[in-house]
Structures are given as structure tokens and as C-alpha cells.
Amino acid sequence: MTQTITMTVNGREARVEVADPDMPLLYALRNELGLTGLHFGCGLGQCGACTVHVDGEAARSCMLPTASAAGKRITTLEGLGTPERPHPVQAAFIAEQAVQCGYCASGMIMQSAAFLAKTPRPTEDQVREELVNNICRCGTHPRVVAAVMRAARG
């Protein structure tokens, strides 16, 4: 009945037993692996709160069947950096105080980190366009843009 799906999560092999291989990856990461840095926002791929990296690309984990992650390299916010070794985007979010409730911040950071990996010297407008499908309700937008630009400056 159940199926075991093997993937690499934050650099380690992870096996997840699922009764339904179509269960979105979000639930496998949050509930089976305890990676609660990503958040359920809409389940529709509209808001970005659940963003993770799949083989280095930003992806909405609420839309990905767990089975489709088999053999893939998944990175979550927890695997992006640590207080001791922060990813530049994480360090910049702290420096710019670019968080209010923070429910969207995880997705913002993951989206921005994947973006900067490909576009290391973006303009502010490019950052805004990149984040057009990441919703924030608290109004942290100006600080988020400042943080991504700070991270890009290195």
C-alpha cells in the first residue's frame, strides 16, 4: 500500500513512506521530516510560502507530488544555511530586518537564493520581477528587495 520514496534532502539521503505518491512534497517535508521552515500558504502555487529548491531550482512544494521528488536533490530553508554559516540571503534578511510575521520569508529567501545563483548582479527591478509571485501581507517588500540587493553585493 505504502510506497518508499528516496531523495536527497539538505545533503542527506531521506526516505519517506507515503500512502499516496501524489501527496505534495510539502507534507512529506513538514510532517515526515520535520522541516517546518517552509509553510503552507495556498496549496495552489500562487503565494510562494512553500518554496524549496529542487536540483537547485526554486519550486513550489505544495504543487509537487512527493513521488516526483524521487532521486532529486531537495534543499529547504534549514539546509540553505545556519546561524554559524548563513547563506548570504539569510544574513542580508537579518541585516535589513526584512521580516515581520515571517510566514512568507522562507519562500522569499529560497526564491531569491536560487535567483542569485543564476543572476549574481541583478538590478532592483529584476529582483522585483523575480519575486512577483511571492506574496507578503505585512508589507516587507522594500526591505526584502534591499536584502536581496545586499546579498548580491556580497
Partner 1 sequence: MNAITNRRGFLQAGAALTVAFSVGLRPRAAAAWAEKPVAADEVGAFLSIDAQGAVTVYVGKVDLGTGVRTAFMQIAAEELDVPMARVTVVEGDTALTPDQGATYGSLSIQNGGVALRAAAATARREFLRLAGERLNTPPAELRVEDGAIIAGSRRVTYAELVGGRAINLKVDANAPIKPPEARRVVGRSAPRVDIPEKVFGRFHYVHDLKRPGMLHGRPVRPPAMGAIAEAVDEASLRDIPGVVRVVHQGGFVGVVAESEWSAIRAAQALRVRWSDWAGLPEQAKIWEHVRATPVAQVQVTSERGDARRAIEGAPKQLAATYDFAIHSHASMGPSCAVAEFQGDRLTVWSASQATHNLRKQLAMMLGVEAEKVRCVYMEGAGCYGRNGHEDAAADAALLAKAVGRPVRVQWMRADEHGWDPKGPPHLVDLRAGIDTQGNITGWLADAYIPKGAGGNVDLTAAELASLPREQILSPGNIVHNLAHGYAMPAVKTTCHRLETTPFRPSWIRTPGRMQNTFATEAFLDECAAEAGADPVEYRLRLLPAEETRGREALERVARLADWQTRASPQRDRAGAVLRGRGVTYVKYELVRTYVAAVAEVEVTRGTGAIRVTRFFCTHDCGQMINPDGVRAQVEGNIVHTLSRVLKEELTYDRRAVTSLDWASYPVITFPEVPPMTIELIDRPAERPWGAGEPAAAIVPSAVSNAIYDATGVRMRSVPFTPAKLLAALRGA
Which residues are near partner 1 by CB under 8 A?
Answer: 1, 19-20, 23-24, 27, 30-31, 34-44, 46-47, 49, 76-78, 81-83, 86, 90, 93-94, 97, 99-106, 109, 125, 127-129, 131-145
Supply the minimum distance, in Å, between the C-beta of residue 120 and partner 1.
19
As a whole number of angstroms, the distance between CA 71 and CA 130 comes to: 27
Q: Which is nearer to partner 1, 70 or 91 (CB)?
A: 91
Q: Which is nearer to partner 1, 55 or 129 (CB)?
A: 129
Supply the minimum distance, in Å, between the C-beta of residue 35 and partner 1.
7
The helix (run of H) or strand (run of E) holding residue 125 is helix 124-130
**Which triple of cell numbers denotes residue 7?**
531523495
Cα dihedral value 81, 82, 88, 91, nearest 10: 150
As a whole number of angstroms, the distance between CA 128 and CA 148 comes to: 10
As a whole number of angstroms, the distance between CA 56 and CA 43 comes to: 21
Supply the minimum distance, in Å, between the C-beta of residue 6 and partner 1.
19
The helix (run of H) or strand (run of E) holding residue 78 is helix 77-80
Q: Which is nearer to partner 1, 7 or 35 (CB)?
A: 35
Q: Which is nearer to partner 1, 7 or 47 (CB)?
A: 47
